[in-house]
Amino acid sequence: MMDDKYGNLRLKLLASMLSFSLVPLFIVGLSLYTQFDRAYTTRVQENLRALVEDRRHALDLFFEERISQLYTVAHSHSFEQLCAPSKLQEVFDLMQRRSKYYVDLGVIDENGDHVAYAGPYALKGVNYRNAEWFQSVMLHGVYVSDVFLGVRQFPHFIIAVLRREGERYWILRATINTDLFESMVKAAQAGEFGDAFLVNEKNVLQTSSRFVGRPMEPPGIPALPRFQGSRLMTQSIGPRTMLVGAVWLRSVPWMLVVMEDPQEEFLPVLQTRSLALILLAAGVGVVVLGAVFVVNLMIAQLRETDRQKALLDADLMQTSKMAALGRLAAGIAHEINNPLAVIQEKAGWIQDLLEEEDVQSSQNFKEFEAAVTKIQQHVDRARNVTHRLLGFARRMEPVQHPVNMNKLVEETLTFLENEARHRNIEITRELGDNLPEVLSDGSQIQQVLLNVINNAIDAVEKDGRVHIRTLYDKDLQQVLVEISDTGPGIPSEILDKIFDPFFTTKKLGSGTGLGLSICHSIVTKLGGRIEARNGPKGGAVFVVAIPVQHHMSVSAG
């Protein structure tokens, strides 16, 4: 039955400890992981946005430099100079030394005839009058074409600038090396499944893609209208869901698209999640083991406490029996001593009568004298027995011995200093010099001091001071112990009630109201007094006065 009680208690304690330990652990762990996941997701998205913006800036700068370079060449040379034999080739070679992005360079007159050419193809003499790019450059002055096949039947794009020279119009046109240009775009792709490409306003690829198509093909993703800034979205590409960043170039109506695989980008998050789960499992294991250890320790301590309590109860029962026996012995001794005294008195009177002459002449005088002597002997024997019974009874009563009050105060404070230090309460002493020893019961005085000082600590609660002063009152022949605190003091309307039994100012369940009542009873029994008042600067003051010498009343019969 007892084992079932401890087993149920163990389960309840384990359930309570694990609930209060693991639930906050899971909540904190989940919160931290959620915050980390959200922060890392934001970071990945911002990194992709920054990458897209950076690559757009590089591509815009590329087009601006190429247009500026062609514009400079066109406006620093005349039509006749560039059409002169080997001059255009010389300019082209110079441009190639500065940049490898050019495939060829040509001069087209206002009729669309290719009048001068430097490059690997035989394009001189070709007429572009009906070509879309020719009409656009004649209209706008600068033109960057979409990727097209042209007469060379190979995907490429051109940059052309218009020069007006007097009444004459002519065009300087350059073809861009798409391989080198694509390398600039591909620099934005990262990871095993990353991708980067350009599409025009008609949603046609202008550069090759790793997964969605080749130049001049639709990419297989929805077309997006022009928008300001960059945009992030998710897009399903085959079995994968990709994180997509898109931005329109400013110099050319092309859109840069950069794709990243979230599984690759979020690998640190997944690793962190695995590590967090491992740490969480380890933490749960430690908490469970710790809870089991603590609960087992508590149950073992409880078992030991119950055992000690059983022994103490038995000892208290035995002590109670011995006290009852002592009181019974004292009662019996009192009851027997009274008739013994009468018997002793009558035996003495008979002995006095036997000394008279008429009695001594009696034939039975010797027998009378022997009988009286026998009676007195047995009365003395009975009195010795009752004295021993009274001695046994007296050992149940308080004892008197010399008590050094300063030493007793110091011993009492050793029980309370830790509690005071925990509450940041300073205990100060002002112990009188050359105090006389009092003849009293030190253990009972210590019980009184312990109760009063503990009440003072409770009144202060925390961050305060308790002051203890001892002094000798020569007029009253008493040693005084004064205990003052910096608490709220005692309301005047209850000052005369604090020593009443069951009167307490503490919260419900914090006190029984018997402490000061018992102290008052003990001090009164020791022949002293205990007083309470409020200090001049606030707080309560208790004074315990113990007489230097006091003979405690002991029933002696």
Q: What is the pLDDT of residues 345-361, one digit of tens each?
A: 777 777 777 676 566 66
Residues 209 and 198 sit within 8 Å (Cβ to Cβ): no
Instruction: Compute the average pLDDT of residues 281-289.
Output: 84
Lowest mean pLDDT among 260-264, 276-280, 359-363, 471-475: 359-363
| Angle, CA 143 vertex, CA 77 and CA 147 arms, to 5° | 120
pLDDT, the chain, mean:
82
Q: What percent of the chain has pLDDT over 70?
A: 84
Q: Give tens-digit pLDDT for 198-254.
A: 999 999 999 999 888 888 898 878 888 888 889 998 888 878 888 899 999 998 999
Report the b/e string of 74-110 with b at 16+ CB within 10 A: beebebeebeeeebbeebbeebeeeeebbbbbbbbbb
Mean pLDDT along residues 487-506 = 77
Q: For residue 506, what pLDDT band results from cuts at 50, 70 and 90?
A: low
Q: What is the pLDDT of residues 7-33, one digit of tens each?
A: 888 888 888 888 877 788 778 778 877
The yes-or-no verdict on residue 512 having pLDDT over 60 is no
User: What totals of helices (H) and strands (E) does the chain contain, helices first?
Assistant: 13, 16
| Domains (range + CATH), the chain | 64-174 (3.30.450.20), 181-265 (3.30.450.20), 320-394 (1.10.287), 401-547 (3.30.565.10)
Residues in the chain: 557
Which residue type, as a one-letter code, is found at position 256? L
In this predicted structure, what is the pLDDT of residue 63? 93
Does the structure show a pLDDT above 80 at 289?
yes
- 43-66 tens-digit pLDDT: 888 888 999 999 999 999 999 999
**What is the pLDDT, as a whole number, of residue 453?**
92
Contact predicate 133/70, CB 8 Å: no
Cβ atoms < 10 Å from Cβ of 135: 14
Q: What pLDDT was estimated at residue 557? A: 34
Beta strands in 1-122 (DSSP E): 102-109, 114-118
What integer pLDDT is reported at residue 554 of this predicted model? 42
- Out of 200-204, 271-275, 494-498, pick the least confident: 271-275
Is pLDDT above 60 for 189?
Answer: yes
Amino acid 391: pLDDT:
47
